[in-house]
């Protein structure tokens, strides 16, 4: 597969790298410490077009391809993986889902604001008892004629506090199992919609992750996306693309940790020479670089298949599986290369190691990716 990066792809990568190095890097350690993302940075990301990269310009987006999106995701996540996940959920779950399955009225009303970064969105599938087993939705949406009555709890919701627009999956016809699930656009501020506990996380600490609670929330009928019972298909189709975004985030984390290790290995001296001249370190660097490159090829391949309108279910699961396992492995090695310095915050690699872990869990654990790949291989 020839990726044939265009001048535009290269410029997007450069713009994302400049933004990350000049604006995200300075406060990244503090934001991790205080567990808060900067509203001004979010505004700048919107202004630079990073929040709705693939959305058509008619709806306020950048009209770019998936390859451009993953190139930008890698650069942003190299420096700040929290910014990466905020961006990924907004782009590939919320905006993509709305653009591909929403009505023109829904797009006009919500997508335009989301794609330009005026507001951000959240994707609300997981529940206390429905993580990997996503068909087991306990949140209910009862049809009341002109509206649905929404009741239930959603867990581990990225952007849960900051998001103003939430895409919420809920069960309307339990007897139909996953075919009875619907998806709704639910605005913050509706009576009965409460933002609950903020999680105190291991990694991606600057992004907010909350429990969301719904008690008799009246959701207008026109806010349902797709036909009655389309919700689970919506979630699965959207996650196929979301997994490319998270794979790109994982790639960025791995590439960031590798680059820091390469640089450090030339500066740090032991036994009379830079540690880069010790074979023990050279072998680590070689393996890190090889895995990062392999992850990048899988991420680009999934993005290209999506851009070409081909089936990308297996490719996105492979990219997510491999890139997230690589991120965990490379960041652990990066801490080892840095020795004692790697264990303290100033050198960034300990944060990248903590950030890497979640990429093996959200948008489908590594085990779920293997299940998806096996089903594709065997069907």
Is residue 321 a contact point for ligand CAA (CB under 6 A)?
A: no
Is residue 313 near ligand CAA by the rule CB under 6 A?
A: yes
Nearer to ligand CAA, 277 or 376 (CB): 376
Site string for ligand CAA, 350-369 (x = CB under 6 A): ------------xxx---x-
- Asked if 35 is part of the footprint of ligand CAA (rule: CB under 6 A), the reply reads no
Tell me whether residue 85 or residue 244 sits nearer to ligand CAA (CB atom). 85
Contacts with ligand CAA, 133-152, as mask; x by CB under 6 A: -xx-----------------
**Residue of 369, 157, 133 lying closest to 250 (CA atoms):** 369
Asked if 218 touches ligand CAA (CB under 6 A), the answer is no
Name residues whose C-beta falls within 8 Å of residue 123's C-beta, 6 or more positions apart in sequence: 89, 93, 94, 97, 157, 158, 166, 167, 238, 242
Q: Which is nearer to ligand CAA, 120 or 125 (CB)?
A: 125
Q: How far apart are CA 265 and CA 110, in angstroms?
A: 48
β-strand partners of 143: 148
Expressed in percent and rounded to 5, the helix, strand and coil fractions of the chain are 60, 15, 25
Report in angstroms how near the CB of residue 111 gets to ligand CAA at its nearest: 18
Q: Which stretch binds ligand CAA (CB under 6 A): 45-53, 72-80, 233-241, 289-297?
A: 233-241
Q: Is residue 281 helix, strand or coil?
A: helix
For residue 142, the surrounding DSSP H or E stretch is strand 140-143
CB-CB neighbours of 203 under 10 Å = 21
Please give the full DSSP string across 52-98, using - where no structure is assigned: STTS-GGGTS----HHHHHHHHHHHHHH-HHHHHHHHIIIIIIIHHH
For residue 248, count CB atoms less than 10 angstroms from its CB and return exposed for 0-12, middle for 13-18, buried for 19 or more: buried
| Closest distance to ligand CAA from the beta carbon of 232 (Å) | 6
Q: Which two tokens stand for residue 108?
A: 């006009």
Of the listed pieces 9-17, 32-40, 121-129, 188-196, which binds ligand CAA according to CB under 6 A?
121-129
- Our answer to whether residue 47 is catalytic in this structure is no
Tell me: does residue 96 bind ligand CAA (CB under 6 A): no
Question: Of the two residues 54 and 313, which places its CB atom closer to ligand CAA in the complex?
Answer: 313
Task: Kindly report each contact of residues 187-194 with a partner whose C-beta sits within 8 Å and lies 24 or more positions away, as own/partner.
Answer: 188/163, 188/164, 189/164, 190/217, 190/218, 190/219, 191/216, 191/217, 191/218, 192/150, 192/216, 192/217, 192/218, 193/217
Minimum CB–partner distance for residue 259 and ligand CAA (Å): 25
Listed ranges 59-67, 73-81, 124-132, 214-222: which one lies at the site for ligand CAA (CB under 6 A): 124-132
Smallest separation, CB 13 to ligand CAA (Å)? 23
Stretch that binds ligand CAA, among 57-65, 128-136, 195-203, 284-292 (CB under 6 A): 128-136
Q: Which is nearer to ligand CAA, 86 or 335 (CB)?
A: 86
Catalytic residue among 74, 75, 350, 363: 363
The answer to whether the beta carbons of residues 114 and 50 sit under 8 Å apart is no
* 319 lies in the binding site for ligand CAA (CB under 6 A): no
**Which span (28-36, 37-45, 181-189, 232-240) binds ligand CAA, by CB under 6 A?**
232-240
Residue 168 contacts ligand CAA per CB under 6 A: no
Size of the site for ligand CAA (CB under 6 A): 21
Query: What letter does residue 272 receive in the DSSP assignment?
Result: T
Q: Does residue 19 belong to the site contacting ligand CAA (CB under 6 A)?
A: no
Query: In the complex, what is the shortest distance from the CB of residue 87 to ligand CAA, in angstroms, rounded to a whole number?
Result: 11
Question: Which of helix, strand or coil describes residue 126?
Answer: coil
By the 10 Å C-beta count (0-12 exposed, 13-18 middle, 19+ buried), 51 is classed as buried
**Which residue carries 């992004």 as its tokens?**
207
Binding to ligand CAA (CB under 6 A) within 249-288 occurs at: none
CB of 156 to ligand CAA, least distance (A): 7
The two three-digit tokens of residue 299, written as one number: 């991420």
Give, for 193, the enclosing helix (H) or strand (E). strand 193-198
Contacts to ligand CAA by CB under 6 A? 85, 89, 123, 125-126, 132, 134-135, 158, 178, 232, 236-237, 239-240, 313, 362-364, 368, 372
Which amino acids are annotated catalytic? 363
């Amino acid at each position: 597969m020839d990726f044939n990066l265009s001048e535009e792809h290269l410029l997007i990568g450069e713009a994302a790298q400049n933004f990350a190095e000049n604006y995200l890097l300075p406060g990244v350690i503090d934001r991790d410490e205080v567990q808060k993302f900067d509203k001004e940075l979010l505004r700048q990301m919107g202004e630079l077009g990073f929040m709705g990269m693939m959305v058509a310009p008619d709806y306020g987006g950048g009209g770019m391809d998936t390859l451009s999106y993953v190139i930008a995701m890698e650069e942003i996540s190299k420096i700040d993986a929290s910014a990466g996940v905020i961006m990924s959920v907004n782009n590939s779950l919320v905006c993509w889902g709305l653009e591909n399955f929403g009505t023109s009225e829904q797009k006009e009303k919500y997508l335009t604001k989301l794609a330009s970064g005026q507001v951000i969105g959240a994707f609300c599938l997981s529940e206390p008892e429905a993580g990997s087993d996503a068909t087991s939705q306990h949140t209910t949406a009862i049809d009341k004629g002109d509206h649905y009555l929404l009741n239930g709890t959603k867990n581990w919701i990225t952007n849960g506090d900051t998001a103003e627009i939430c895409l919420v999956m809920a069960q309307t016809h339990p007897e139909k199992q996953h075919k009875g699930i619907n998806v709704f656009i639910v605005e913050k501020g509706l009576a009965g919609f409460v933002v609950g506990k903020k999680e105190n996380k291991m990694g991606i600490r600057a992004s907010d992750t909350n429990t969301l609670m719904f008690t008799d929330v009246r959701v207008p009928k026109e806010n349902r996306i797709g036909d009655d019972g389309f919700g689970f298909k919506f979630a699965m189709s959207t996650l196929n693309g979301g997994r490319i975004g998270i794979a790109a985030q994982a790639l960025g984390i791995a590439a960031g940790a590798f680059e820091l290790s390469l640089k450090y290995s030339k500066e740090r001296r032991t036994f009379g020479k830079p540690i880069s001249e010790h074979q023990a370190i050279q072998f680590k660097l070689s393996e890190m670089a090889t895995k990062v490159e392999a992850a990048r090829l899988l991420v680009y391949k999934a993005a290209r298949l999506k851009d070409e309108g081909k089936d990308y279910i297996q490719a996105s699961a492979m990219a997510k599986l491999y890139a997230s396992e690589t991120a965990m492995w490379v960041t652990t090695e990066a801490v080892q290369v840095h020795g004692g310095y790697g264990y303290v915050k100033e050198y960034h690699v300990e944060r990248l190691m903590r950030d890497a872990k979640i990429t093996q869990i959200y948008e489908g654990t590594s085990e779920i990716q293997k299940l998806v790949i096996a089903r594709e291989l065997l069907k």
